[in-house]
């Protein structure tokens, strides 16, 4: 704000006393108060100047500095460091409770400016200094937040891909106010600063003039939209069609752009992230793009070698079991795994052999196994004993 002649603003002479200054201020404040001049920008500016002038001239210390140097600065007089101007505790609005006077005119009750400023402690002041935007966040456009959604699909949906309809609960732009949060029509004077755009706060013996946090210095508050209560957004359910590409893995994360929460005051919306959970299959296991399966093999099949049919995700496939196959041995069926939609390549299927010990009850089979033992008397644990 350009430096103004405070005496001229209030229309008083340089020798004007305390009482004369107060009277001039009352008269001008009443005349230019935004409540009485809705929408009049010139009047509003005038009102701010009148308040600033009174703020300085009603305060003996500030007035003294202004008279001496031709300006007043919160940082103190020229040549002294910050806080060099000695400030006493009684430097608030002197004597005139002006919010009360205009409350009657506007027909509604408001907290007075002096109450609001007097109650503020160090925390409030310093949080403002260091950029705590919490109080004013309501009118600053902010991108909408992202949303996370967990989606369970079964084994086959993950492999082949699928299309799902999700009901998403999120914040949408309020249609009543088109996201502005404001009701159409006149706005009102900020009750925090009575339209001046600045508030005065005390911290011990120090006194600060701050941009009003409620209206961010505009002096006006918008009438809130009745539907969204000023937020510009409403909670709503939306059905979102999501295509899960083939080859989705456990924990795959899909981004659906723009389907998160709506932004405030016209800011863009956030995104929707869908994390895929794949339900387990009774036999097939996924290891990335590979499919694993454990198949039981009879003792004679393992010993003599054979060809067996094993299930794959494409249907049956033949697998050669060589002579002397051991329990736990793995065989690879190339390109029988999952088609990866990103790489267009297929994984393999890994078949693990589980040799089934026969549950023998009949004498004939028992005799065959005893015969086998006589032919192979070697200790199968011999290697273990050499290393224990």
d(CA 165, CA 155): 18
Residues 24, 159, 228, 350: which binds Zn ion (CB under 5 A)?
228
Instruction: Give the position of tokens 């932004």.
Output: 263
Query: Does the protein bind Zn ion through residue 256 (CB under 5 A)?
Result: no
Query: Does the protein bind Zn ion through residue 116 (CB under 5 A)?
Result: no
Query: Does the protein bind Zn ion through residue 55 (CB under 5 A)?
Result: no
Query: Does the protein bind Zn ion through residue 159 (CB under 5 A)?
Result: no
Query: Which residues, 182 to 211, sit near Zn ion by CB under 5 A?
Result: 190, 192-193
Q: Looking at beta carbons only, is 221 or 272 nearer to Zn ion?
A: 221
Residues 189, 212, 248, 278: which binds Zn ion (CB under 5 A)?
212
| Smallest separation, CB 190 to Zn ion (Å) | 3
Q: Candidates 57-65, 97-105, 149-157, 221-229 — which segment interacts with Zn ion by CB under 5 A?
A: 221-229
CB of 298 closer than 8 Å to CB of 305: no
DSSP string, 329-364: -EEEETT-SPBPTTT--B--EEEEEEEEPP---SHH
d(CA 171, CA 143): 12
List Cβ neighbours of 69 (8 Å cut-off, separation of 6 or more): 77, 78
Q: Looking at beta carbons only, is 228 or 242 nearer to Zn ion?
A: 228
Q: Looking at beta carbons only, is 233 or 259 nearer to Zn ion?
A: 233
Query: Does the protein bind Zn ion through residue 176 (CB under 5 A)?
Result: yes
d(CA 44, CA 117): 21
Cα dihedral sign, 360-364-370-374? negative
Q: How many CB atoms lie within 10 A of CB 74?
A: 14
Q: Looking at beta carbons only, is 176 or 188 nearer to Zn ion?
A: 176
Q: How many residues bind Zn ion (CB under 5 A)?
A: 12
Q: Looking at beta carbons only, is 151 or 215 nearer to Zn ion?
A: 215
Count Cα atoms within 13 angstroms, Cβ side, for 297.
33
Query: Does the protein bind Zn ion through residue 233 (CB under 5 A)?
Result: no
Q: Which residues bind Zn ion (CB under 5 A)?
A: 174, 176-177, 190, 192-193, 212, 214-215, 225, 227-228
């Amino acid at each position: 704000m350009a430096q103004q002649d405070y005496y001229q603003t209030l229309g008083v002479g340089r020798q004007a006393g305390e009482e004369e200054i107060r009277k001039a201020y009352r008269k001008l404040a009443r005349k230019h108060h935004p409540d009485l001049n809705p929408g009049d920008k010139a009047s509003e500016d005038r009102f701010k100047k009148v308040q600033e002038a009174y703020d300085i001239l009603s305060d003996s210390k500030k007035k003294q500095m202004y008279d001496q140097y031709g300006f007043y600065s919160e940082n103190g007089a020229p040549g002294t460091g910050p806080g060099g101007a000695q400030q006493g505790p009684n430097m608030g609005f002197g004597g005139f409770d002006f919010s009360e006077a205009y409350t009657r005119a506007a027909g509604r009750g408001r907290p007075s400016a002096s109450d609001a400023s007097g109650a503020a402690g160090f925390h409030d002041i310093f949080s403002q200094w260091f950029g705590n935007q919490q109080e004013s966040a309501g009118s600053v456009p902010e991108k909408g937040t992202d949303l996370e959604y967990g989606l369970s699909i079964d084994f086959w949906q993950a492999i082949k891909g699928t299309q799902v309809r999700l009901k998403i609960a999120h914040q949408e732009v309020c249609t009543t106010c088109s996201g502005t949060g404001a009701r159409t029509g006149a706005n009102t004077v900020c009750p925090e600063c009575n339209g001046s755009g600045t508030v005065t706060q005390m911290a011990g013996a120090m006194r600060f003039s701050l941009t009003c946090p409620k209206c961010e210095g505009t002096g006006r508050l918008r009438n809130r939209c009745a539907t969204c209560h000023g937020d510009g957004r409403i909670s709503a359910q939306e059905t979102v069609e999501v295509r899960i590409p083939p080859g989705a893995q456990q924990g795959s994360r899909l981004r659906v752009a723009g389907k998160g929460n709506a932004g405030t005051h016209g800011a863009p919306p956030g995104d929707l992230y869908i994390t895929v959970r794949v339900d387990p299959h009774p036999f097939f296991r996924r290891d990335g793009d590979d499919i694993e399966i454990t198949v039981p093999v009879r003792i004679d099949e393992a010993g003599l070698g054979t060809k067996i049919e094993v299930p794959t995700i494409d249907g049956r496939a033949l697998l050669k079991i060589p002579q002397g196959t051991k329990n736990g041995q793995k065989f690879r069926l190339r390109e029988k795994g999952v088609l990866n939609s990103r790489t267009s390549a297929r994984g393999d299927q890994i078949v693990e052999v589980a040799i089934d010990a026969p549950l023998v009850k009949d004498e004939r089979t028992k005799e065959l196994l005893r015969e086998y033992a006589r032919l192979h008397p070697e200790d199968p644990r011999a290697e273990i004993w050499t290393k224990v």
